[in-house]
Chain A
């Protein structure tokens, strides 16, 4: 079955860290760049980060640069988002997403994970 299944998330205090995972199945994972997109409660979508198909290149939104790290394990078809020094404004549902074209960084997101909630609160 072609899908992205997310895990991780939860409630964390400001300044702490959290790691999200996104397990891919049913497609050639190592041919696709992967992204993280987040959505604060009741608000719109915000792009967070992208990693190339081979893991050699990654880019971040200014709001998370220096605090979040995107990575992937192509041997396990899994994507990660390491979030450090979390802030209350990082509270959101986080989605992993695949772009529609192979071997490119940019594209429309044709497959999404189910989303996982991250709440940053003291």
Chain B
């Protein structure tokens, strides 16, 4: 299953809303879709699993939606610490990651 993330880079200001897309090459169950945040020099951190469930300790400004082949991560009210790279991950058929979306400060 190929995952395509868009856009490649998102330039936004703190306080704005980020909308990140992840499109699968074939239908996957929403149960098997996750989102991660990665900052430079750090390991990824799980944000969302099962397409819409927040991981432990993740603030509610992070939300995930979607089903079938189209999934979205929304980050409301961007905080300075939210500027990072975000990856989607499907674990329905083996494991694949999207190529990532960088959220940068405008």
- Enumerate chain A interface residues (CB-CB to B < 8 A): 35, 44-47, 50, 59, 61, 95, 99-100, 106-110, 112-115
Contacts and interface: CB of A to CB of B under 8 A. Distances in A.
A42 to B, nearest CB: 11
Nearest to B99: A44
B44 A45 contact: yes
A44 B98 contact: yes
A109 B46 contact: yes
Interface of B: 32, 34, 36, 38, 43-46, 49-50, 55-56, 87, 89, 91-92, 94-100
B43 A108 contact: no
Given A45-B97, A46-B97, A115 B43 contact: yes
Given A45-B87, A106-B32, A107-B91, A100 B98 contact: no
B3 to A, nearest CB: 10
Contacts of B43: 95, 112-115
